[in-house]
Amino acid sequence: MSKRGGGVWLWRWRRNPLKRRSDVTETWLGVTALAVLLLAAPSVGAAVTAVGERSALDRAQGLHRTAARIVERVPAAPSRFSDMANDQVRVTVRWAMSDGSSRTGEALVSAGSKAGSSTTVWLDDTGRLRPAPPTPAQARSQGAALGAAAGTGVCVLVVGVWWAARLRLDVRRGSQWDRAWIAFNASRGHRHA
């Protein structure tokens, strides 16, 4: 008989007069949970990664770059409300539309830029300012982050359901033990208090 760490391997699958239906149920729940973890979590993660990356890249659809002029003085140091990671500040810029008219709006520019200098802004089809779309590398990293979160969520969900089912089976086994002890004591002439 093959033993490992003092226990018999696959004991729940062997014939045993003490084996309960709940033991078999618990084993099948574990097998099912493991199969779902090995198959569903990576599949969901990969699918969400692809969708997230595609969605990030689709944000660039309908956007086009155009040159704009900074119309106000740009602070040398960014304020606490600006995009500190890129040392950018929000200032007023002016750009020319395809029909020759000019428009103004607020866009992020590098801190310390000079008034009157040129910058690049992103416009939608109606000529409104939009945030710069993500680069392909940024889209890949956003998709990977979303995929990892989705895969982790599937794992947490499956393990949570498995754990709750095991707890429920343990409660049921405990009540079965209680009833068996009451029956045993009654057959020996003891009263249950």
Per-residue DSSP letters for 88-129?
A: EEEEEEEEE-TTS-EEEEEEEEETTPPTT-EEEEEE-TTS-E
Range(s) of the domain holding residue 97: 62-132
Backbone angles phi, psi at 185, to 5 degrees: -65, -35
* pLDDT of 192 above 60: no
pLDDT for 1:
46
pLDDT for 167:
93
Same domain (yes/no): 67, 117: yes
Same domain (yes/no): 69, 99: yes
Same domain (yes/no): 99, 157: no
Residue 103 lies in a domain: yes
Same domain (yes/no): 114, 157: no
State the average pLDDT for the chain. Answer: 82
Same domain (yes/no): 94, 126: yes
Q: Which of 132, 163, 187 is the last residue of a domain?
A: 132
Same domain (yes/no): 35, 68: no
- What is the mean predicted confidence (pLDDT) over 161-182? 90
Residue 96 lies in a domain: yes
Q: Which of 82, 108, 132 is the last residue of a domain?
A: 132
Q: CA 78, 129, 69, 97: dihedral to nearest 10 degrees? A: 180
Same domain (yes/no): 85, 119: yes
pLDDT for 158:
95
Q: How many other C-beta atoms are found inside a 10 Å radius of the C-beta of residue 30?
A: 14
pLDDT for 190:
63
Residue predicted with more confidence, 185 or 154: 154
133 pLDDT band (50/70/90 cuts)?
A: confident
- What is the mean predicted confidence (pLDDT) over 32-57? 93
Residue 5 lies in a domain: no
Q: Which of 132, 159, 185 is the last residue of a domain?
A: 132
> Could you tell me the pTM of the whole model?
0.65
Residue 6 lies in a domain: no
Residue predicted with more confidence, 120 or 137: 137
Residue predicted with more confidence, 99 or 32: 32
Residue ranges of E strands in the chain = 3-4, 7-8, 64-70, 88-96, 102-110, 118-123, 129-130
- What is the mean predicted confidence (pLDDT) over 144-153? 95
Residue 88 lies in a domain: yes
pLDDT for 95:
86
Same domain (yes/no): 41, 66: no
Same domain (yes/no): 68, 56: no
pLDDT tens digits for 66-108?
888 888 777 766 556 554 455 777 888 888 887 878 888 888 8
User: Is the separation of the CB atoms in 29 and 167 below 8 Å?
Assistant: no
Residue predicted with more confidence, 124 or 165: 165
Residue 26 lies in a domain: yes
* pLDDT of 58 above 60: yes
Helix axes 136-187, 21-58, angle to 10 degrees: 170
Same domain (yes/no): 160, 98: no
Same domain (yes/no): 102, 122: yes
For the chain, the domain total comes to 2
Angle at 72 between CA 66 and CA 76, to 5 degrees: 100
Displacement of CA 130 from its chain's centroid (Å): 26
Same domain (yes/no): 85, 68: yes
Residue 110 lies in a domain: yes
User: Is the separation of the CB atoms in 118 and 69 below 8 Å?
Assistant: yes
pLDDT for 113:
76
Which residue type occupies 52?
Answer: G
CA–CA separation, 128 and 121 (whole Å): 10
CA–CA separation, 110 and 108 (whole Å): 7
Query: Within the chain, what is the greatest distance between any pair of CA atoms?
Result: 104
Residue 3 lies in a domain: no
Q: How many other C-beta atoms are found inside a 10 Å radius of the C-beta of residue 33?
A: 18
